[in-house]
């Protein structure tokens, strides 16, 4: 969860994996609790629970997937009004 691509598995000294093993090696209950914490932060920051638009989804219809950015705010806003 904390690093990115190509993490080397130290025990086996072989296959580069997509993510470090500390998350995978937590128990499901621990992952559930940690994921809940992430949810709380996300919602506190104003995160939306609407799915992001996904043109590859069979359910990609505008009524079903409202395009609201993750911060819940419009992506376009005035930096300065009036004048040049």
Partner 1 sequence: MGGQACILYGAAEFSRDLDLTVGIDAENIKTIKHALSELEAKLIFVPDLDIAALQRGHACHFRCNSSGAEGLRIDLMSKIRGCPDFPQLWERRAEISLPEIGEIGLLSLPDLIQAKKTQRDKDWPMIRRLLEADWLQSRSNPETAQVSFWLMECRTPALLVELTQKYPEEAGMLVAHRELLEVALRGDLQSLELSLRKEEDLEKEKDRLYWAPLRAELEKWRREKHWKKS
User: Residues 1 to 40: which contact partner 1 by CB under 8 A?
Assistant: 1, 9, 12, 14-19, 21, 23-26, 28-29, 31-33, 35, 38
Q: Quick one: which of 72, 66, 75, 69 has its CA closest to 43? A: 72
Q: Is 56 in the site for partner 1 (CB under 8 A)?
A: yes
Q: Is 41 in the site for partner 1 (CB under 8 A)?
A: no
In the 3-class helix/strand/coil scheme, how is 11-47 assigned residue by residue?
A: CCCCCEECCCHHHHCCCHHHHHHHHHHHHHHHHHCCC
Residues of the shown chain interacting with partner 1 in the complex, contacts defined by CB under 8 A: 1, 9, 12, 14-19, 21, 23-26, 28-29, 31-33, 35, 38, 42, 47-51, 54, 56-59, 61, 63-64
């Amino acid at each position: 969860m904390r690093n990115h691509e190509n993490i080397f598995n130290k025990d086996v000294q072989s296959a580069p994996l997509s993510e470090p093993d500390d998350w995978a090696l937590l128990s499901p209950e621990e992952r559930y609790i940690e994921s809940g914490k992430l949810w709380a932060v996300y919602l506190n920051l104003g995160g939306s629970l609407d799915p992001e638009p996904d043109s590859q989804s069979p359910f990609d219809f505008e009524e079903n997937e409202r395009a609201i950015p993750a911060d819940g705010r419009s992506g376009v806003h005035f930096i300065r009004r009036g004048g040049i």
